[in-house]
């Protein structure tokens, strides 16, 4: 049974990836906005921002840009899932000997692949405009793992949105608050520069722990408790979101 799930998931993932390859504007669009924001902050606003450290501003803010890149990219997962539901493709899959969970996992893995490509593009542009890191291979792998877990967590939330949305706009609109969360965190400015109520929210929301962890890994600095808080939040989000998404999917398809 397990082998069928794996093979079905691979087959359906390849199907979804082909759709993206036929319209690569999805990946390009996902990367363009973060790149534009990065250029804006580095060349226009960065000189007026005091981060309290000697590192270049591009090094400080890149983690936040990467999180925005992922948050904007996962909206396409909800969009594609909603279109599949409306197009009746799921009903066709129900009449075939295909593992039910493989349909959702195919969308999730497609999102993961597309978003990691977008992250790689944004990181490449950051290197061109001055980003530098002396991080070890182990640190780079830890950063990749953190961003992968972040992508998985948000993608499964996107699956829930795609399954429950009533319109195409509603399927993707849920991602807008997620895109703005990094702006109210330590991703672009230190939290101690914010008004007290905003600073409290910024210091206690999960994006701050994630951004701090990635920044510390890039800079070869101790990550402290931030990395454990980030892993706990993202891991918990994945578990809860997977359970909710599968329950909704089974109810819709029953």
The 10 Å Cβ neighbour count of residue 220 is 11
- Tell me which DSSP letter residue 24 carries: T
Which two three-digit tokens encode residue 68?
């925005």
| Structural contact between residues 65 and 185, judged by C-beta atoms closer than 8 angstroms | no
pTM of the model: 0.88
State the alpha helices, DSSP H only, in the chain.
Answer: 2-22, 25-40, 57-73, 75-87, 89-94, 100-128, 137-164, 168-173, 175-180, 196-204, 206-219, 226-253
- The answer to whether residue 148 scores a pLDDT higher than 80 is yes
Q: Identify the pLDDT of residue 106.
A: 84
Q: Identify the pLDDT of residue 1.
A: 44
Contacts 24+ apart (CB under 8 A), 175-178: 175/71, 175/72, 175/74, 175/75, 175/78, 178/71, 178/74, 178/154
Tens digit of each residue's pLDDT (9 = 90 or more) over 212-247: 999 999 999 888 889 999 999 999 999 999 999 988
Distance CA 211, CA 188 (A): 9
Q: Which of 25-29, 117-121, 174-178, 249-253 has the lowest mean pLDDT?
A: 25-29
57: Cβ contacts below 8 Å, ≥ 6 apart: 41, 42, 46, 47, 49, 51
Which two three-digit tokens encode residue 25?
């504007």
C-alpha neighbours within 13 Å on the C-beta side of residue 216: 16
Indicate the domain borders of the chain. Answer: 2-253
Q: Which of 14-18, 23-27, 55-59 has the lowest mean pLDDT?
A: 23-27
Q: Identify the pLDDT of residue 166.
A: 81
Q: What is the mean pLDDT of the chain?
A: 84
């Amino acid at each position: 049974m397990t082998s069928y799930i794996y093979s079905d998931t691979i087959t359906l993932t390849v199907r979804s990836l082909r759709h993206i390859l036929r319209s690569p504007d999805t990946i390009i669009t996902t990367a363009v906005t973060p790149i534009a924001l990065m250029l804006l902050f580095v060349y226009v606003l960065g000189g007026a921002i005091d981060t309290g450290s000697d590192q270049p501003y591009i090094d400080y803010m890149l983690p936040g840009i990467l999180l925005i890149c992922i948050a904007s990219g996962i909206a396409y997962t909800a969009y594609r899932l909603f279109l599949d539901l409306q197009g009746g493709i799921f009903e066709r899959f129900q009449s075939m000997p295909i593992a039910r969970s493989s349909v959702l996992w195919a969308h999730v893995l497609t999102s993961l692949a597309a978003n990691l490509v977008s992250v790689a593009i944004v990181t490449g542009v950051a290197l061109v405009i001055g980003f530098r890191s002396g991080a070890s291979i182990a640190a780079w792998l830890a950063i990749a793992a953190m961003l992968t877990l972040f992508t998985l967590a948000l993608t499964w939330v996107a699956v829930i949105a795609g399954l429950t949305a009533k319109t195409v706009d509603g399927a993707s609109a849920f991602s807008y608050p997620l895109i703005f969360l990094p702006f109210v965190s330590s991703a672009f400015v230190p939290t101690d520069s914010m008004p007290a109520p905003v600073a409290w929210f910024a210091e206690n929301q999960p994006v701050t722990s994630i951004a701090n962890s990635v920044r510390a890994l890039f800079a070869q600095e101790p990550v402290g408790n931030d990395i454990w808080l980030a892993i706990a939040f993202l891991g918990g989000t994945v578990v809860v979101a997977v359970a909710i998404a599968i329950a909704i999917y089974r109810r819709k398809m029953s």
